[in-house]
């Protein structure tokens, strides 16, 4: 019950972020499939990617707060920091979409994803510090291999967005991190991740 | 309690989808009833249809989760798939509205409805697989006659939207499916549907 | 618990309706108080009126569902009807605002208020019918004097909006109904309304 | 449970206010960092400030309602007054942003902050009056030093916005009040504020 309203506010903000991004989809100017593909193709892809990212954060948030029973001022503000980072996604998504994958908007989009990852890490660390080294949350997080790999891949993507390599390499990095968190991967989950994953794999809940 | 946040996120997303569609209604340019009918007539009809569809999904979701006690990764993602499909409704509704019922937008709208129906079926099947063949949910769904009829009628509507028949035949198919789920139909509910309906009829809850 | 999600969806929709209306407020074109008064004066007034109306419905809904323990299909759909009527308020409010109180938009706004009142009455009657004539809800509603007076005043306002009398008479009727529901009026509440009020007066909760 | 829906509506409205402000951020017209800084720099700053203010109110609201068990009509309406004041923030924030910190919009923004502070004070006083002079809420609020200082600083900012001093002095006042509420300041919290603070300091929850 102590975490009830923090979860309610977070659910509310994430639900709205997910849903207002669809307002950015431009209505096609003509009435044919070609018009749809032309004016909405890019938008639909970027919307899907951002939808998946927000969903992943919601899933992970959901799991983490199964192991957080008490809310302190530090957790409140770390959580609001995460919500702030995610609340910028509709804006950065719309810029990527409008620019049709120009370098700078793609870089800024990746920066936004990185900011959310850092904010999530801060929230997680705050919760662990509160609970002590033997807490279930500490054990569940372990060495946080998946979190570290994700961050590294995001940084590779950011570098790619600014370097002369094709911009879709950056996009593949950003999409790859999302896939990493969606795929359940039960075997790895059982064998390795139990001790090293930031949170239980999706298929293990 | 385990399903609490999944239901909260779903309620939030569905509440927002329902409500932001009204933002698509254009303010009439003049100040007479004729101006209202001219600029809002189509919009109000399509808004009403989409409102009813989202309401039906909320009702069915509400009923289904009375019989789902545990959330797995599969259910989380199947549920997010359903929310994604429904979150596109404000976009496809606005296109139908703006085009004043042109063929392709009506087809895409129907495709959106079909995608939501398929996503709901996947969610339902995931929940049933988790619970086993003797679960109350399995018995409640039965042969899922209503779900199958709905899907068939949606596909007929999709075919109609692309064929040379008048486009309102497609719209009647889409509206007909909605009516099928609103009407309580107690007699059928008692006699037949108990064993064959995807979910309890509305009047039977 | 049975009514939990119906209340959650209603809270969500009403929260969104209240909040998106502010998106209709036009940013002033200049940077002076005169610009603010010119471009936002009417908008602020109509926003305030609609905010108060949605708040009143939320309050009454809140009170009513203290006495409703069970949800049937009929209540679900009656509730969705109320939400639909209220979801049109941002649209009708924006039209009144944009037209600067032209007759037809004011009439349509009043019609929207009347539709919400009727939808609320249907919801209340559905709940009473379910509970039977000796239920606490039935006794709390009594002869529903306040509801009847409100409806009559709304209808007078609608007539005023279409007749040659100044249009602000209609607005006073609409605002008067809101005041009727805000003002606690403890004495009347004690002496008379206990048996005749649709819901406990605000100051009596 | 009595305060459940009031908290749910408040969480919903605050979540939406936080999130729709991001819709005011203009998509840059070009695709370079300079374009981003030019069209979004001011917007991002004002968005951040308003996000922090809404967060602070949510935090304080959250704390206050730990000590409020019963909802009366007076509390309902005082709470709706607070929500109304806060719901205007997206509008006043957008005007400040669009004007690039012109005097009048900055003044109106500060007035909005002051209105929210007054509404919060009214809500707090209503809750205290209901509970009596020996209630835990009364003791937690104490002499409300932090509340009084905040109000004084806001008024200084308002005066600055209208006087010939540089406008950023007003902005510093508004931002300073936010910082006052974010910084945990444990020592002061322990030694002094326990008896004089409107609510427990953020780091003390």
| pLDDT tens-place string over residues D37-64 | 887 877 888 899 999 999 999 888 888 8
**Measured torsion, CA atoms of residues C84, C90, C92, C94, in degrees rounded to the nearest 10:** -170
Q: What is the pLDDT of residue C25?
A: 83
> By mean pLDDT, which of A100-104, B186-190, D152-156 is the weakest?
B186-190
- Which chain C residues contact residue D104 at CB under 8 A? 31-33, 35-36
What are the start-end ranges of the H helices in chain D? 4-20, 33-64, 73-87, 89-99, 103-131, 136-141, 145-162, 168-182, 186-188, 194-196
Report the alpha-carbon distance of residue C176 to residue B76 in Å, rounded. Answer: 48
For residue A204, count CB atoms less than 10 angstroms from its CB and return exposed for 0-12, middle for 13-18, buried for 19 or more: middle
Count CA atoms within 13 Å of residue A142 on its CB side. Answer: 16
Can you give the three-state secondary structure of D42-74, one letter per residue?
HHHHHHHHHHHHHHHHHHHHHHHCCCCCCCCHH
Count CA atoms within 13 Å of residue C125 on its CB side. Answer: 10
C-D interface: how many C-beta pairs under 8 angstroms?
80
Query: What mean pLDDT is predicted for residues A101-116?
Result: 94
**What's the pTM value of the predicted model, to 2 decimals?**
0.85
Report the alpha-carbon distance of residue C98 to residue C26 in Å, rounded. Answer: 10
Q: How confident is the model at residue A184 (pLDDT cuts 50, 70, 90)?
A: low
- Mutate: best of C15, C16, C43, C73, partner B, most B CBs <10 A: C73
Q: What is the pLDDT of residue A177?
A: 92
Q: What is the ipTM of this complex?
A: 0.82
The closest alpha carbon to D143, from D189, D187, D195, D184, belongs to D195
Report the alpha-carbon distance of residue B13 to residue C47 in Å, rounded. Answer: 24
- Contact flag A12-D11 (C-beta cutoff 8 Å): yes
In the complex, which subunits touch B with 3 or more CB pairs below 8 angstroms? A, C
- Contact flag B72-A8 (C-beta cutoff 8 Å): no
Please tell me the distance in Å from B1's CA to the nearest CA on chain C. 11
- Give the SS3 label for residue A29: coil
Q: Does B13 touch chain A (CB under 8 A)?
A: yes
Which tens digit of pLDDT belongs to each residue from B117-152?
A: 999 999 999 988 888 778 888 877 777 888 889 999
Q: Does D23 touch chain C (CB under 8 A)?
A: yes
Which tens digit of pLDDT belongs to each residue from D133-142?
A: 788 888 777 7
Q: How confident is the model at residue D14 (pLDDT cuts 50, 70, 90)?
A: very high
For residue D191, count CB atoms less than 10 angstroms from its CB and return exposed for 0-12, middle for 13-18, buried for 19 or more: exposed
DSSP state of D133: T
- Which chain A residues contact residue B76 at CB under 8 A? 59, 62, 202, 205
The closest alpha carbon to D107, from C24, C30, C35, C31, belongs to C31
Q: Does B4 touch chain C (CB under 8 A)?
A: no
- Mutate: best of B12, B14, B19, B41, partner C, most C CBs <10 A: B19
Distances (CA, A) of C81 to A24, B22, B33, B52, C86: 28, 15, 23, 10, 9
For residue B164, count CB atoms less than 10 angstroms from its CB and return exposed for 0-12, middle for 13-18, buried for 19 or more: exposed
- Dihedral sign for Cα atoms in the order B159, B165, B166, B172: negative
CA angle at residue A164 from A159 to A165, to 5 degrees?
Answer: 75
Of B11, B14, B204, the CB nearest to C73: B204
Question: Is the per-residue pLDDT at A169 higher than 80?
Answer: yes
DSSP state of A130: H
Cβ contact A97:A40 at 8 Å: no
What's the mean per-residue pLDDT of chain A? 83
What are the start-end ranges of the H helices in C21-144? 33-64, 73-87, 89-99, 103-131, 136-141
Q: Which residue of C has its CA nearest to B3?
A: C5
Cβ contact D204:D195 at 8 Å: no
Q: Does C71 touch chain B (CB under 8 A)?
A: yes
Q: Does A95 touch chain D (CB under 8 A)?
A: yes
- Which chain B residues contact residue A51 at CB under 8 A? 80, 84, 87
Backbone phi, psi, residue B53, to 5°: -60, -45
Please tell me the distance in Å from D196's CA to the nearest CA on chain C. 30
DSSP state of C115: H
**DSSP character string of C136-193:** HHHHHHTT-HHHHHHHHHHHHHHHHHHSSS-THHHHHHHHHHHHHHH---HHHIIIII
DSSP state of A169: H
- Give the SS3 label for residue D122: helix
Q: What is the pLDDT of residue B190?
A: 44
Can you give the three-state secondary structure of chain B, one letter per residue?
CCCHHHHHHHHHHHHHHHHHHHHHCCCCCCCCHHHHHHHHHHHHHHHHHHHHHHHHHHHHHHHHCCCCCCCCHHHHHHHHHHHHHHHCHHHHHHHHHHHCCCHHHHHHHHHHHHHHHHHHHHHHHHHHHHHCCCCHHHHHHCCCHHHHHHHHHHHHHHHHHHCCCCCHHHHHHHHHHHHHHHCCCHHHHHHHHHHHCCCCCHHHC
The closest alpha carbon to D53, from D97, D6, D21, belongs to D21
The closest alpha carbon to C174, from C76, C27, C70, C46, belongs to C46
Q: How confident is the model at residue D184 (pLDDT cuts 50, 70, 90)?
A: low
Query: What mean pLDDT is predicted for residues A34-61?
Result: 87
Q: Which residue of B has its CA nearest to A4?
A: B5
In the complex, which subunits touch A with 3 or more CB pairs below 8 angstroms? B, D
* Gyration radius from chain B CA atoms: 18
Q: Does D59 touch chain A (CB under 8 A)?
A: yes
Q: What is the pLDDT of residue C72?
A: 82
Q: Which residues contact C102 (CB under 8 A, 6 or more apart)?
A: B31, C167
Cβ contact B51:B43 at 8 Å: no
Question: Is the per-residue pLDDT at A156 higher than 90?
Answer: yes
Q: What is the pLDDT of residue C190?
A: 44
Question: Is the per-residue pLDDT at D96 higher than 70?
Answer: yes
Cβ contact B55:B86 at 8 Å: no
Buried b / exposed e along C138-148 (16+ C-beta atoms within 10 A): bebbbebebbe
Query: What mean pLDDT is predicted for residues C189-199?
Result: 40
Distances (CA, A) of A181 to A171, A203, C65: 16, 10, 41
Query: What mean pLDDT is predicted for residues A140-156?
Result: 87
- Give the SS3 label for residue D184: coil
Q: How confident is the model at residue D111 (pLDDT cuts 50, 70, 90)?
A: very high
Distances (CA, A) of D76 to A151, C54, D30, D60, D198: 45, 13, 47, 17, 20
Largest Cα–Cα separation, chain D: 61
Q: What is the pLDDT of residue C110?
A: 95
Q: Does B28 touch chain C (CB under 8 A)?
A: yes
Report the alpha-carbon distance of residue B146 to residue B148 in Å, rounded. Answer: 5
Most confidently predicted of C2-6, C134-138, D110-114, D191-195: D110-114
Report the alpha-carbon distance of residue D7 to residue D79 in Å, rounded. Answer: 10
The closest alpha carbon to D26, from D5, D6, D41, belongs to D41
Number of H helices, E strands in chain A: 10, 0
Query: What mean pLDDT is predicted for residues A92-120?
Result: 93
Q: What is the pLDDT of residue C161?
A: 92
Q: How confident is the model at residue B184 (pLDDT cuts 50, 70, 90)?
A: low
- Contact flag D73-C36 (C-beta cutoff 8 Å): no
- Contact flag A27-B102 (C-beta cutoff 8 Å): no
Question: Is the per-residue pLDDT at D187 higher than 50?
Answer: no
- Contact flag C201-D9 (C-beta cutoff 8 Å): no
CA angle at residue A72 from A70 to A77, to 5 degrees?
Answer: 125
């Amino acid at each position: 019950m102590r975490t009830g309203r923090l979860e309610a506010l977070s659910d509310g903000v994430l639900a709205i972020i997910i849903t207002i991004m669809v307002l950015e989809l431009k209505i096609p100017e003509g009435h044919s499939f070609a018009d749809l593909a032309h004016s909405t193709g890019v938008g639909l892809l970027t919307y899907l990617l951002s939808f998946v990212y927000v969903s992943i954060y919601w899933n992970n948030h959901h799991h983490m707060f199964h192991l957080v029973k008490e809310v302190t001022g530090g957790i409140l503000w770390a959580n609001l920091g995460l919500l702030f980072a995610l609340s910028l996604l509709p804006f950065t998504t719309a810029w990527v979409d409008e620019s049709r994958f120009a370098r700078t908007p793609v870089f800024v989009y990746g920066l936004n994803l990185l900011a959310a990852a850092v904010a999530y890490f801060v929230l997680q660390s705050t919760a662990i510090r509160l609970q002590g080294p033997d807490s279930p949350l500490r054990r569940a997080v372990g060495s946080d291999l998946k979190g570290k790999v994700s961050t590294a891949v995001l940084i590779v993507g950011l570098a790619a967005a600014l370097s002369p390599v094709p911009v879709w390499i950056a996009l593949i990095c950003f999409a790859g991190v999302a896939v990493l968190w969606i795929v359940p991967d039960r075997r790895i989950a059982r064998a390795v991740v139990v001790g090293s994953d930031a949170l239980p794999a999706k298929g293990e809940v």
